[in-house]
C-alpha cells in the first residue's frame, strides 16, 4: 500500500490502482463485511421489527455507498479533482453517522442481542465493518486535510 499516492490530489487512484492505495483499499473488506452483516440480519429473526429495520437500513446503505464509491473510483470519475476528496469525506461522514452515533450503536446492539442463532458472527461482522468505516474515515480525513 502506498500512502504517498493517496495523499496527493494529483494522483488520486483510478482503475485497479484503487486496490493498492490507502484508504481506498478498504472498500473491498467494507463491502464484504457489510454484505455479511446485511445477509445475517436479513436471515435472522429479530423480535423487534423496528430494530431489524434500522440495522438493515444501515447495512444496505453502507454496502451500496461503498460499492458505488469503489465503482466511481475504478471508472476514474474524479479526474484528480480535490472536490472529489471532499465528496468522499462527506460520504464517509454519512456512513459513520449511520454506524457510530450512540442511538445507532444501541439499536444495532439490541438487534444483535435478539437475533436467533447468529449472535456471535453478526456481532463480529458488525464490529469489523464499523471498524473498517472508521479507519477509512480517518484515512479520508487525512487525505482531505493534505489536499
Determine the pLDDT at residue 117. Answer: 58
pLDDT > 90 in the chain, percent: 2
pLDDT surpassing 50 at residue 2: no
d(C-alpha 104, C-alpha 94), whole Å: 12
Report pLDDT for 32.
92
Return d(Cα 124, Cα 126) in angstroms, integer: 6
Which pLDDT value is given to residue 46? 67
56 or 25: whose pLDDT is higher? 25
Mean pLDDT value across residues 48-56: 73
Q: Nearest 5 degrees, angle CA 52-CA 128-CA 46?
A: 15
Which of 51-55, 70-74, 83-87, 136-140 has the largest mean confidence?
70-74
Burial class (CB in 10 A: 0-12, 13-18, 19+), 85: buried
Is-contact 43 104, C-beta < 8 A? no
User: Which CA distances in Å does 27 have to 45, 53, 70, 88, 120?
Assistant: 29, 24, 6, 12, 24
Whole-number average pLDDT of the chain: 74
Per residue in 58-86, pLDDT (tens digit) is 778 888 888 888 888 888 887 767 677 67
Q: Give residue-wise pLDDT tens across range 13-50.
A: 778 888 888 888 888 998 998 888 888 777 777 666 77
41 Cβ contact list (under 8 Å, min separation 6)? 52, 55, 56, 59, 111, 115, 122
Amino acid at each position: 500500500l502506498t500512502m504517498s499516492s493517496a495523499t496527493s490530489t494529483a494522483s488520486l487512484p483510478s482503475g485497479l490502482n484503487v486496490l493498492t492505495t490507502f484508504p481506498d483499499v478498504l472498500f473491498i473488506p467494507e463491502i464484504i463485511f457489510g454484505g455479511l452483516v446485511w445477509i445475517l440480519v436479513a436471515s435472522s429473526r429479530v423480535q423487534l421489527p423496528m430494530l431489524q429495520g434500522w440495522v438493515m437500513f444501515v447495512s444496505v446503505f453502507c454496502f451500496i455507498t461503498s460499492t458505488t464509491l469503489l465503482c466511481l473510483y475504478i471508472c476514474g470519475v474524479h479526474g484528480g479533482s480535490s472536490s472529489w476528496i471532499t465528496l468522499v469525506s462527506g460520504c464517509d461522514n454519512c456512513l459513520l453517522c449511520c454506524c457510530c452515533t450512540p442511538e445507532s450503536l444501541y439499536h444495532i446492539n439490541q438487534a444483535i442481542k435478539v437475533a436467533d442463532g447468529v449472535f456471535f458472527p453478526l456481532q463480529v461482522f458488525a464490529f469489523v465493518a464499523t471498524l473498517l468505516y472508521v479507519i477509512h474515515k480517518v484515512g479520508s480525513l487525512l487525505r482531505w486535510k493534505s489536499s
